[in-house]
Amino acid sequence: MGNYKYHKIYNFTTNGNLEISTKVMEEIAIQAINKVEGATLPSKRTLLFDKKPVECLFKKNGDFVMTVNIRVAYGYNVGEVSNAVQERVSQDLLYMTEIRPRKVHVNIADVK
């Protein structure tokens, strides 16, 4: 198994503890990005300094922050696409894990 971080969810089940890997949340975000019209994941060449397309961060105060890097298709409004990505990622994470991200940062890596 990889070197993944896990987030424990309290009061979710009566049969034991539930922990969700950050890899799962990254994969949910990737699927959400692919559902937004005009947004795709950037190529590895486009991302600077070997960044991942999606990064999760749990802060010590319990806040969950996600950063996504996207490519916007030529002819689409960058602001509208980035807002749609933020909304879709937040909704899908809440629906599938019941974790609401405090913030979803969207970085435009490329326009193509």
| pTM (global) more than 0.85 | no
* pLDDT per residue as tens digits for the range 22-80: 888 899 999 999 999 999 988 776 666 567 888 888 887 778 899 999 999 999 999 99
Nearest-angstrom CA–CA distance, 90 and 39: 16
* pLDDT per residue as tens digits for the range 70-87: 999 999 999 999 999 999
Q: How many CA atoms lie within 13 Å of 12's alpha carbon, on the beta-carbon side?
A: 13
Q: How many CA atoms lie within 13 Å of 42's alpha carbon, on the beta-carbon side?
A: 21
